[in-house]
C-alpha cells in the first residue's frame, strides 16, 4: 500500500527565494491589480488573498469580480481606535417597532391541547415555526409544535 520511510527530511520549499505570484508588497492603499479572466479560478485568487491578509497583518486586501477578471485591492485597515465614534450619554432609546411575538400570537391564552391557525398568506409558514420555537424558549415548561395543514399552519400547545 504505502511505503513508510523514517528520517526523510521534508523538501525545502525556499519560500524566500521564490518569486511572488502577486505584487502584495508593492500595493499602496487604494492600488489594485487585475487577474485576467480565465487565468485562475476566483476561489484560487480569494484563497491567495486570504493568505496575504494573514501573511501581512498590517495590511488588508480584498477581491471583487469585475469585467475582464478579478480585481484585487489593498484597502485601508480599520484600526478601531476609540476616537472614531462620539459617545453620547442620555440619548433615549426608541420604542421597539413592530408587533411583539408574545402579543402577535396567543401563547398566554393556550392551555395544553389548545391550538390556533395561522391562515395561508397571513405570514410565511417558516415565520410561524420560528416563533413557536422561540416561544418554547421564552415560556419554560410549555411546549408548542407546528404543522402545515390545508388552510395554513396550526400551532398546538402540548405541555
Convert the pLDDT of each residue in 70-111 to its tens digit.
888 888 866 555 445 677 788 777 666 655 555 688 888 888
Residue 96 dihedral angles phi and psi, to the nearest 5°: -60, 135
Q: Is residue 12 part of a domain?
A: no
- Considering the domain architecture, whether residues 70 and 114 belong to the same structural domain is answered as no
pTM over 0.75: no
Cell numbers for 71, please give them.
480585481
Predicted confidence band of residue 45 (pLDDT cuts 50, 70, 90): confident
Query: In 3-state terms, what secondary structure has residue 118?
Result: strand
Region for 80 from its dihedrals, namely left if φ exceeds 0, alpha if ψ lies in -120 to 50, beta otherwise: left
Q: Provide the percentage of residues in the chain whose pLDDT is more than 70.
A: 77
Which of 40, 75, 110 is where one domain is finished? 75
**Residue 11 forms part of a structural domain:** no
Range in 18-22, 32-36, 80-84 the model is least confident about: 80-84
* Nearest Cα residue to 141 out of 116, 112, 117: 112
79 vs 71: CA distance, rounded Å:
24
Strand, coil or helix: 157: strand
Same domain, 151 and 108: yes
Please indicate, yes or no, if residue 90 is contained in any of the structural domains: no
Euclidean distance between CA atoms 115 and 109, whole angstroms: 10
Confidence at residue 144, expressed as pLDDT on a 0 to 100 scale: 92
153 and 107 fall within a common domain: yes
Residue 91 inside a domain? The answer is: no
| Residue 18, pLDDT above cutoff 50 | no
Answer yes or no: is 1 within a domain.
Answer: no
Buried/exposed code over 69-82 (b: 16+ C-beta within 10 A; e: otherwise): bbbbbbeeeeeeee
Q: Give how many domains the chain has, as a whole number.
A: 2
Q: Are residues 64 and 109 in the same domain?
A: no
Determine the pLDDT at residue 76: 80
Q: What is the dihedral of CA 26, 32, 34, 35, to 10 degrees?
A: 60
Range of the domain at 112: 102-157
Residue 157 near residue 143 (C-beta atoms within 8 A): yes
pLDDT at 19: 45
Average pLDDT, the chain: 79
Amino acid at each position: 500500500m504505502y511505503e513508510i520511510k523514517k528520517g526523510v527530511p521534508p523538501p525545502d520549499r525556499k519560500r524566500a527565494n521564490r518569486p511572488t505570484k502577486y505584487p502584495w508588497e508593492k500595493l499602496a492603499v487604494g492600488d489594485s491589480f487585475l487577474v485576467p479572466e480565465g487565468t485562475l479560478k476566483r476561489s484560487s485568487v480569494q484563497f491567495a488573498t486570504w493568505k496575504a491578509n494573514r501573511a501581512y497583518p498590517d495590511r488588508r486586501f480584498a477581491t471583487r469580480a469585475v469585467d475582464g477578471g478579478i480585481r484585487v485591492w489593498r484597502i485601508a485597515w480599520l484600526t478601531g481606535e476609540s476616537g472614531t465614534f462620539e459617545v453620547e450619554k442620555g440619548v433615549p432609546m426608541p420604542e421597539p417597532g413592530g408587533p411583539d411575538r408574545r402579543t402577535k400570537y396567543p401563547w398566554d391564552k393556550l392551555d395544553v391541547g389548545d391550538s390556533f391557525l395561522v391562515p395561508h398568506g397571513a405570514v410565511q409558514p417558516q415565520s410561524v415555526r420560528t416563533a413557536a420555537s422561540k416561544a418554547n424558549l421564552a415560556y419554560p415548561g410549555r411546549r408548542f409544535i407546528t404543522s402545515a395543514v390545508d388552510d395554513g399552519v396550526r400551532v398546538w400547545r402540548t405541555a
